[in-house]
Amino acid sequence: MTAPAPAPVIAEVQLASFRCFESVTVQPGPGFNLIAGANASGKTSLLEALFFLGRGTSFRAARAETAIHFGGDRATLFARLGAGIATRVGLEISRADGLAVRVDGAPGTRADLARALPVQLLDPSSHELVSGAPAGRRQFLDWGVFHVEPTFLPAWQRYRRALQQRNAALRTRNPAAAWVWDDTLVTEGALVDACRRRCLEQLQTRVARVGERLLAADIELAHLPGWTDGTPLADSLLANRDRDLQMATSTTGPHRSDLRVSVRNRRAKDTVSRGQEKLVAAALTLAQLELVAESRQQTVVLLVDEPGADLDREHLTRLLAAVATAPAQTFVTFLDPAAVTLPSGAQAFHVEHGSVQALL
């Protein structure tokens, strides 16, 4: 028996004065959604809007106001949700007032958006999850931890506040004012680290399975906590006080953690090609989506921008098959819709000159 289609995470999205879209409404399907169109037609901008609605930020630019339509002073984005903890999310980007978030009609935060609409992304830069700086891997892991471990966010917020105070004191060369925050860093840092480790343990089995499907290779993950593993954080903070004073910043703790990714027992960033890096990143992302979907007991949203970049036909076929069976409402951009074999129940849209038209 065929399982019923999951309730759509996004039933409708409305954009006004966002990038090339003056005003557009899209009603996507609950599963695989193909977004086709020429280069510079607005395909990636549509994915960006969906990312904004689930994160409150862009994956293309650091400043939100750059997404406002040329000549306008504000952009609005709205999504009606078919399932989950909220039924409506929206935000306004204003050149004068910045970003305003609303969830079910009430003012909200980026964390509220993330809870209501969990969104993850695969794009041509996803290989940096393997080869890039630790901050990218840390942010990737923490997105999953946020959804799976309810105690993570408040612990991380308390840790960050203490860290900011400690670093401020270090910058003014006031060690007594800096060390007073160490107890908080140790207490909250232990909670943050424990949440990350539990999430990573659940992620590992899923990554191994998806990695075998995409790469026919073992992918292994290891957590690097940000200090010498096995040494108490309190001891590490104490041992590094002189260094912290010299550097005027806290050099040890969960804010320095990393995720080591290995393929066939060798560090991936040193051994695999660009295309393989992309597949490893896809395996991590798909495994994470599976974990979050199971934890939340609902589908999530996956955005895939130009999946064919750096991949041969065989591996692209594998990736698209894995995306099509993920527990997610997916949005995949392609130049040529004829080049894609659409799964059953898929919907297709064509983007051109600021308009979005349904093809199926």
- Please report which confidence band the pLDDT of residue 265 belongs to, taking 50, 70 and 90 as the band edges: very high
d(CA 323, CA 174): 52
Same domain flag for 202 and 332: no
Q: Is the pLDDT of residue 268 over 60?
A: yes
Same domain flag for 335 and 257: no
Q: Which residues contact 200 (CB under 8 A, 6 or more apart)?
A: 141, 221, 223, 259
Same domain flag for 102 and 169: no
Among 254, 270, 298, residue at a domain's last position? 298
Same domain flag for 224 and 274: yes
- The per-residue pLDDT for range 279-291, each reduced to its tens digit, is 999 999 999 999 9
Same domain flag for 232 and 137: yes
List 79's β-bridge partners, or say none.
13, 89
Among 298, 319, 344, residue at a domain's last position? 298
Among 278, 298, 318, residue at a domain's last position? 298
Q: Is the pLDDT of residue 2 over 50?
A: no
Task: Mean pLDDT check: name the lowest of 6-15, 172-181, 273-282, 329-338.
Answer: 6-15
Same domain flag for 216 and 321: no
Q: Is the pLDDT of residue 4 over 50?
A: no
Same domain flag for 68 and 170: no
Q: What is the pLDDT of residue 7?
A: 62
CATH code where residue 81 lies:
3.40.50.300
Same domain flag for 235 and 276: yes
Q: Is the pLDDT of residue 360 over 70?
A: no
- The per-residue pLDDT for range 107-133, each reduced to its tens digit, is 999 999 999 999 999 999 999 999 999
Whole domain around residue 148: which residue ranges?
Answer: 125-298
Prediction pTM value? 0.95
Beta strands in 1-53 (DSSP E): 12-18, 21-26, 32-36
Alpha helices in 104-247 (DSSP H): 110-116, 128-131, 134-148, 152-171, 175-179, 182-215, 233-239, 241-247
Q: What is the pLDDT of residue 8?
A: 66
Query: What's the mean pLDDT when you consider all of the chain?
Result: 94
CATH code where residue 215 lies:
1.20.1050.90
- How many domains would you assign to the chain? 2
Same domain flag for 117 and 144: no
Q: What is the pLDDT of residue 85?
A: 80
Same domain flag for 273 and 349: no
Q: What is the mean pLDDT of residues 35-46?
A: 94
Same domain flag for 64 and 141: no
- The per-residue pLDDT for range 295-354, each reduced to its tens digit, is 988 889 999 999 988 899 999 999 999 999 999 999 999 988 777 888 888 999 999 989
Residue type for position 276: Q
Tokens 């862009």, located at residue: 58
Instruction: Tell me the torsion sign for CA atoms 261, 265, 271, 277.
Output: negative
Same domain flag for 147 and 239: yes
